[in-house]
Amino acid sequence: MTEKGLADVVAAQTRVSDIDGKLGKLWYVGYDIHDLAEYSTFEETVFLLHNSRLPTGEELEQYTERLVEERELEDFTKGLFPTFAEVSAPMSMLRTAVSAASAYDPDGWDHSAEGNERKALRLTSRIATMIATYHRIRSGEEPIPPDPKLPHAANFLAMLTGEEPDEEAARALDICLILHADHTMNASTFAARVVASTLSDMHSAITAAIAALKGPLHGGANERVMEMLLEIGEPEKAGEHVRKLLGGGERIMGFGHRVYKTEDPRATHLRRLSRELGELAGDTRWFEISERIEQAVMDEKGLYPNVDFYAASVYYYMGIPIDLFTTVFAASRVAGWTAHVREQLADNRLIRPESEYIGPRDQGYVPIEERR
């Protein structure tokens, strides 16, 4: 009999990332997330996850160029966005857009390791363009073409808002993308690996991952956090709100984690970014409410904030619409998903666990006319 939710079950061996939940540590390929958040960039982190080492200066330049070249959507995918803008919620749009993009991918039928590497890079680059294109069209505005001079995070914000972001916002988003890029065997990564293990294809695996990320127990929590902050409205009301929710048996979104039993190391950076962006905006209200909630949840339940909690106010300060928060998570995690798919395929065996049957046995079949 396994633990419910496969807790503590090791589902794969990986070289991509590792967590120590007791110590609150996260590493990508052995590099501490604190160092990556301080010194790395999203582009370099993508290289690290996919090549299992840091690039040289020249390699990073070439890799960045490849990512830049892959930003534009092909006409077929672009043509779907007016419909998405009209009828699809953001995560549903992204799930369908990634699935649809497989139709005209230049490597569509190439399942070789090289083809998969190119598809991984293409998807990692284009998801940001998909989100921005969707948002511009639904807002009644022209999509902004990618700016090859800007790094990935700054270009993402520019395509979304129509303005080149200031340095602080661009670096803050860059750090967010680094922090969310991978996280061992989380539900969406597991979903991606299961699909890959059937020797399906890269786009199918990433489509499945997006579908898993969408749920409020996984990536969807960040949007719920911001809705809660807005509902609370003032720092003084935070404690009471938390006690009321917990008293009613509700979960506080952005708290608790299957693996971390102490502070999630990503939350440490996001808390700081929330404060800094709040100070920069001259409005620290959302940061202050968050801090009060954190204190109240700790007092009442002894739970720590997870990655989604402070990410909410950080994205809000950047001017990212709330219903796009989970898609921003996807724009980063695609780096890890695609790395895991490639790793799975490099040494594949079909993922096919057992189940424990707990239903009735030896039932006699009763003809329909004799059933009551």
Active site residues: 218, 257, 308
Q: How far is the CB of 351 from ligand COA (least distance, A)?
A: 21
Considering only residues 271 to 310 of the shown chain, the ones binding ligand COA according to CB under 6 A are 301, 303, 306-308
Q: How far is the CB of 47 from ligand COA (least distance, A)?
A: 25
Sequence letter at residue 191: A
Lookup: tokens for 310:
């402070």
Candidate residues 71, 152, 257, 333; the one interacting with ligand COA per rule CB under 6 A: 257
Q: How far is the CB of 255 from ligand COA (least distance, A)?
A: 4
- For residues 169 and 173, give the distance between their C-alpha atoms in angstroms, rounded to a whole number: 6
Q: How far is the CB of 278 from ligand COA (least distance, A)?
A: 21
- For residues 96 and 74, give the distance between their C-alpha atoms in angstroms, rounded to a whole number: 15
- For residues 178 and 45, give the distance between their C-alpha atoms in angstroms, rounded to a whole number: 6
Q: Are 41 and 150 in contact (CB under 8 A)?
A: no
- For residues 310 and 284, give the distance between their C-alpha atoms in angstroms, rounded to a whole number: 13
- For residues 318 and 330, give the distance between their C-alpha atoms in angstroms, rounded to a whole number: 17
| Residue 315 interacts with ligand COA (CB under 6 A): yes or no | no
| Residue 221 interacts with ligand COA (CB under 6 A): yes or no | yes
- For residues 205 and 154, give the distance between their C-alpha atoms in angstroms, rounded to a whole number: 27
Considering only residues 1 to 20 of the shown chain, the ones binding ligand COA according to CB under 6 A are 5
**Residue with smaller CB distance to ligand COA, 139 or 295:** 295
Candidate residues 101, 176, 252, 314; the one interacting with ligand COA per rule CB under 6 A: 252
Task: Name the region of 163 (left: φ>0; alpha: ψ -120 to 50; beta: rest).
Answer: beta
| Residue 254 interacts with ligand COA (CB under 6 A): yes or no | yes
| Residue 189 interacts with ligand COA (CB under 6 A): yes or no | no
Residues that bind ligand COA (CB under 6 A): 5, 217, 221, 251-258, 301, 303, 306-308
